[in-house]
Structure 1
Amino acid sequence: MQFYEDIAVGHKQAFGHYEVTREEVIDFASRYDPQPFHLDDAAAAQTHFGRLSASGWHTCAMTMAMLVENLKANKQAGLGSPGVDQLRWKKPVYPGDTLRCESEVIEKRRSASRPEMGIFKSKLTVFNQDDEPVMEMVSNGLIRTRDPQGTD
């Protein structure tokens, strides 16, 4: 099990593999972001996207799926997240793209009010199959401490 004490600032990690399908792009957009360029080829062709593209929120959801798989594989003692500090969609994500992630821990600290948990901040970049960054975010994670009385 990976605890707060096991996380090192500067640690980098590459993970994930997500194949974006046309059906999933349309299904997600139909439910949560029903803009024409996420639903219709002809409408999308008339925009700067040039063709059907995934919602940015769908890109976030696909990224979350990869993150959770990575957390499970590494058996992290995660406790959720208090939020995201920054989110940027850099390039459109299209059906047929394959996404992957790279992350770097950029800071960490023990919770002042909850000694059984720590907080760490990571910069996450999502890439497509051409190694082009399609999304970047800075997120905060909560994680159990192995020793609530310990120090950093």
Structure 2
Amino acid sequence: MSLNEKPSLYLDDIAVGMQFCSRSAVITEERLKSFALEFDPQPFHLDEEAAQNSLFAGLAASGWHTAAHSHRLFLESVPMANGMVGAGVELSWPTPTRAGDWLRVESRVKEIIPSRSKPDRAIVIMESQTLNQADAVVLKMLSRIVMFKRDSDSPAVADPV
């Protein structure tokens, strides 16, 4: 799915409680290892034998690989107009991601905090979970995102999700 297949969402289009769900995408062993080799070269991400003797008891994706994959799925499922501008994020990894896992992201608008000084925007707090094919949570994410109101030239979205 392309980022352009869904309408772009403005602040005017969302409300607390709205939910979004991404497509599913697989984590391959090749990509798991290549990401780890470049960005997080630790034995439990690169070597099956070393991983067996680790806290993970088997090959595990880097948490940063899980986060990057989750971010892509999140971007696709919540297509914000003018792009997504992050203002902070909290992450936790309750369960390791494994080669062969199919991941999807489920998100919910938790809070909308209007700007006191700039009436055209707000901070939107999004609560997201990345789940694998067994519905185990592999990533929890609390994102603070700057979101803008629609200007007079932007068309309204009939059904934003």
TM-score when normalising by structure 2: 0.83
Distance in 1, Cα, partners of 2:15 & 2:51? 43
1:133 maps to what in 2? 137
The answer to whether the 8 A contact 2:22-2:76 is kept is no
How far has the Cα of 1:116 moved from its partner?
A: 2.3
Q: Of 1, 14, 18, which residue of structure 2 is paired with 1:11? A: 18
The answer to whether the 8 A contact 2:21-2:77 is kept is no
Residue 127 of structure 2 is aligned to residue 123 of structure 1: yes
**What one-letter code is carried by the residue in structure 1 that aligns with 2:85?**
G
The answer to whether the 8 A contact 2:113-2:123 is kept is yes
Residue 60 of structure 2 is aligned to residue 65 of structure 1: no
1:87 maps to what in 2? 91
* Cα 1:44/1:25, change in 2 over 3 Å: same
How far has the Cα of 1:119 moved from its partner?
A: 1.3
Count matched residues: 145
3-state DSSP class of the match of 1:24? helix
Q: Of 14, 32, 53, which residue of structure 2 is paired with 1:25? A: 32
How far has the Cα of 1:77 moved from its partner?
A: 4.1
TM-score when normalising by structure 1: 0.88
2:4 maps to what in 1? none
Runs of 5+ in structure 1 lacking a partner? none
1:37 maps to what in 2? 44
**What one-letter code is carried by the residue in structure 2 that aligns with 1:62?**
H
1:95-106 residue pairs with structure 2 within 5 A?
A: 95-106=99-110
